[in-house]
Amino acid sequence: MQRLSSRGIEDPVVEKSFVASLLQNPKHLNKIAVKLPPDGLVEPDCQAMYLAMLNLSARKTADFSEIAMCDELLKLNMYNDVGKRDGVEKFYTYSKVGNPVVLGDIVLDLHSRRLEIDLADLMHARAQDRTLGKNRDNDMAGRMAAYQAQFQEIQRLFCDDERSLPSSEFSNYYERLMNRRIANLGQPRMNFKWGDLNRLSPSFVDGDLIIMVAESGAGKTTLMADQAEYLWKRGYHVLFYHLELNTDKMADRRIARATGIPMRVLQDGRAGADGSYTYLTDSETQAVRAAIADQAAWPGSMTLKHCPGWTMAQICGDMRVRCANGPVDFILVDYFNKVKTVAQRGSYLTHDMGSDVELLKVTLEELWIVGMMAAQMDKQSKKSSGYQSVASARGSGELDDKSSIGMWMDRPINPADGRRGPIANVYLTKVNSGQEGMVQLRFDGPRFRLCELTTTEPPDDFEGFQERINKCMNNTRT
């Protein structure tokens, strides 16, 4: 295979990153295959790997292992183009990976620019040639027809994308979809941490936006952090934008969840009888370090991004950059009412806030990732009693319209002592692919987590946790 002409527009690093990222996330192949032709890649090794992946995706096994790729390249007579086994292995160990959909769009843009130069050369050549030619098609009408035909070929790259599926391509599309699902049977899915909620809602799909509303102090941040760490532990890559609590508080909450050490002790230490203060005991320090080491071994990742005063445009722009530079599967925004709204001339505040929600939803769909955002309930809604929904969020009813899954969490206050009760009623008020309903979760305030009532939870006392830490310190995973 010869190296295709780049016309001076090329980026071998992007092409290799695209293929390497696609090997790590082959679930995105279906979205990319319908818009990026193999000749959109210039480098022979990248083009050969991409062709082999397209061929493998048409089979029920959908095996993208190194051995399977080498075997397919041999069948295509492209094994030497990649550099044989060593060349294939380099794609699997390549470190510069990101979201293959984002990288694929960059490759497609470079391909389009090369085609635009081809069109410019054609226009220049035919404009300079004043002869009519063999077919007498070099008059003005003939030239315009030739230009328009080639321009439509370029335009077609952006019309036949993942949101435009002609009936002629449906068979191949759905065959690849079924094969991917067969290959991924039994693997962890992106869903809620709590099984009772999963009985109402199926697993999340790329582009979904989950929106939760609750009163101030009801536990929005706790639920979202609990969900984020659950996905991190299951191998997903999570990005958490928190606009209210600072990073220190988010970190303390994580350690309190993992160890059971009270937040007050983690933050302030202990006061002695003589007025002096001491920090953690040796066993507590070991527990913290063991918990951090345990989380470091989880297969996914989680990034905390403290962004007070950010606009939604800033958040979405940051998402795009991070998706291009590394894997991102799930993002959280805590919370919507803290996002800075930029007023547009001649519009109402509610309209501007609705535009922010739409921007987030569109960004999730373009990046093919799942998002979750919390919002605070409207004050008038707080005064009313009875059933609430996502439309009760303060400042914008757009949240209900844009959400794929709408949640309302209600943890009533006991008027006798002014404290919220331990039971949280979580309502799914909108589920595009499931059913509405309510489940009850137990709010474990000292541990900043929500537990299922039907599930036996580990003991909350530090001594019980210490027994598990001792096993961990003896190189035995709890």
Alpha carbon distances (Å) from 89 to 26, 45, 51: 16, 12, 16
171 and 199 co-located in one domain? no
Looking at 175, 208, 228, the residue that finishes a domain is 175
CA distance 195 to 197: 5
With beta carbons less than 8 A apart as the criterion, state whether 393 and 375 touch.
Answer: yes
How many residues appear in the chain? Answer: 478
Residue 421 DSSP symbol:
-
My answer on whether 240 and 165 are in the same domain is no
Please report whether residue 431 resides in a domain. yes
Of 60, 369, 91, 322, residue with least CA distance to 208: 369
Residue 311 has what DSSP assignment?
A: B
Q: Is 428 exposed, middle or buried (0-12, 13-18, 19+ CB in 10 A)?
A: buried
Q: Three-state DSSP class for 402? A: helix
H-helix or E-strand spanning residue 30: helix 29-33
442 and 309 housed in the same domain: yes
Q: Write down the pLDDT at residue 47.
A: 92
Tens digit of pLDDT per residue, the chain (478 long)? 566 778 888 899 999 999 999 998 887 787 787 778 888 899 999 999 999 998 888 776 668 899 999 999 999 999 999 999 999 999 999 988 888 888 988 998 898 898 888 888 888 888 888 776 665 677 888 888 888 877 777 776 765 444 566 677 778 778 877 877 777 777 778 899 998 888 888 888 888 999 999 888 888 999 999 999 999 999 999 999 999 999 999 999 999 999 999 999 998 888 877 778 888 889 999 999 999 999 999 999 999 999 999 999 999 999 988 888 888 999 999 988 899 887 665 444 455 677 888 889 989 988 889 999 998 876 554 545 555 655 555 554 567 677 888 889 998 888 888 888 889 999 988 888 778 889 999 998 888 988 988 644 444 444 554 555 555 555 444 4
User: Does residue 21 lie in a domain region?
Assistant: yes
Does residue 131 lie in a domain region?
A: yes
Residues 345 and 200 in one domain: yes
**Predicted local confidence at residue 270, as pLDDT:** 86
Model pTM greater than 0.85? no
Give the number of other Cβ atoms within 10 Å of residue 176's Cβ: 21
Q: What pLDDT does 48 receive?
A: 93
* pLDDT score at 205: 86
Contact 406, 429 (CB under 8 A): yes
CATH number, domain at 325? 3.40.50.300
24: tokens are 């790590």
CB-based contacts of 224, cutoff 8 Å, min separation 6: 212, 240, 332, 334, 372, 374
Q: Residue 2 falls within a domain, yes or no? A: no
Identify whether the C-beta of residue 261 lies closer than 8 Å to the C-beta of residue 285: no
pLDDT at 389: 56
CATH of the domain at 32: 1.10.860.10
Shared-domain flag, residues 59 and 200: no
Report cis status (omega within 30 of 0) of the bond before 335: yes
Residue 168 sits in the same domain as residue 203: no
Q: Give me the number of domains the chain comprises.
A: 2
Does an H or E element contain 116, and which?
helix 100-128
Asked whether residue 96 falls in the same domain as residue 214, the answer is no
- In this structure, are 168 and 312 located in the same domain? no
Please tell me whether residues 85 and 49 are part of one structural domain. yes
What secondary structure does DSSP assign to 215-244, as a single string? Answer: -TTSSHHHHHHHHHHHHHHTT-EEEEEESS
Per-residue tokens: 332: 């959280």
Query: What range does the domain containing 85 cover?
Result: 12-175
b/e map 446-455, b = 16+ CB within 10 Å: ebbbbbbeee
Q: How far apart are CA 135 and CA 305, in angstroms?
A: 63
- The pLDDT value recorded for residue 475 is 47
Closest Cα to residue 111, out of 200, 31, 42? Answer: 42
Structural domain contains residue 154:
yes
Instruction: Using the structure block, give the residue that is written with the tokens 């959400």.
Output: 403
- Residues 454 and 311 occupy one common structural domain: yes
- The SS3 assignment for 252 reads helix
Cα separation, 35 vs 21, in Å, equals 17
Q: Are residues 205 and 339 in the same domain?
A: yes
Indicate if 153 and 65 belong to the same structural domain: yes
